[in-house]
């Protein structure tokens, strides 16, 4: 199991906290042009089968920090990170300073959830 201080450990903890599936993060990474971060590679790293390459791990960490910061900007509502390509589209719009839309709806199990439409 990755340690809580390793990049793969912090990634896994962040995915669990924000509700982003590993498979969807790998789609965001692919859209970002990060090679070597397929769902299989990530799952192997999270199970300690094979570690991530350093340069890949660093790029994934930078991508995750950007996703996490975007999610924090919507608090107390929860941003739906269940679609990696949509998340990447939001990141592109945020970087370019263009308008992107989300729909905020109440959610009984949480303080709310923001969904793209």
In tens, the pLDDT along 83-106 reads: 999 999 999 999 999 977 765 544
State which residues form the domain around 75: 7-115
Q: Would 111 be classed as within a structural domain?
A: yes
Q: Would 1 be classed as within a structural domain?
A: no
pLDDT band (50, 70, 90) for residue 107: low
Length of the chain: 117
Token output for 84: 């990696």
Q: Would 105 be classed as within a structural domain?
A: yes
Question: DSSP letter string over 84-96?
Answer: HHHHHHHHHHHHH
Q: Would 13 be classed as within a structural domain?
A: yes
**Domain total for the chain?**
1
Q: What is the pTM of this model?
A: 0.83
Q: Would 47 be classed as within a structural domain?
A: yes
Q: Would 2 be classed as within a structural domain?
A: no
Compute the distance between CA of residue 113 and CA of residue 117 in angstroms, rounded to an integer. Answer: 13
Q: Would 43 be classed as within a structural domain?
A: yes
What residues are paired with 103 via a beta bridge?
115
pLDDT mean over 17-41: 96
In tens, the pLDDT along 79-89 reads: 899 999 999 99
Strands (E), the chain: 78-79, 103-105, 113-115
């Amino acid at each position: 199991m990755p340690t809580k201080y390793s990049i793969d450990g912090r990634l896994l903890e962040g995915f669990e906290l924000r509700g982003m599936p590993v498979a969807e993060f790998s789609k965001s990474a692919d859209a970002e042009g990060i090679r070597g971060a397929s769902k299989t590679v990530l799952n192997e790293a999270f199970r300690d089968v094979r570690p991530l390459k350093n340069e890949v791990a660093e790029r994934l960490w930078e991508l995750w920090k950007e996703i996490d910061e975007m999610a924090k900007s919507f608090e107390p509502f929860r941003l739906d990170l269940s679609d990696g390509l949509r998340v990447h589209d939001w990141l592109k719009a945020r970087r370019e300073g263009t308008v992107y839309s989300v729909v905020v709806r109440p959610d009984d199990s949480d303080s709310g959830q923001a969904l793209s439409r």
